Structure 1
Amino acid sequence: MKRILFIFLSVFCIALLTACGDQTNETDNNTNQKNIAQNNIGKTTNVNYSNHLQNTQDQYEMKSQLEKLDFSEIDLEVSYGEQKEYEAEINHDNSGFIGGEVDDDINNEHLSGKAAFDSIYSKVKQLTISKDTNKKDTIHQILNSFDLPADYNRFELEIIFHDGTKLKYVD
Structure 2
Amino acid sequence: MLIESGSPVAADTRIGISLTINGEARQLQVAPWTTLLDLLREELDLTGSKKGCDHGQCGACTVLVDGVRINSCLALAVMKDGAAITTVEGLAGLANRGAGSDGLHPIQEAFIEHDAFQCGYCTPGQLCSSIGMMNEGHAHTRDEIREAMSGNICRCGAYTNIVDAIEDVMQGEAAR
TM-score (norm 1): 0.28
- Give the structure with the larger strand fraction: 1
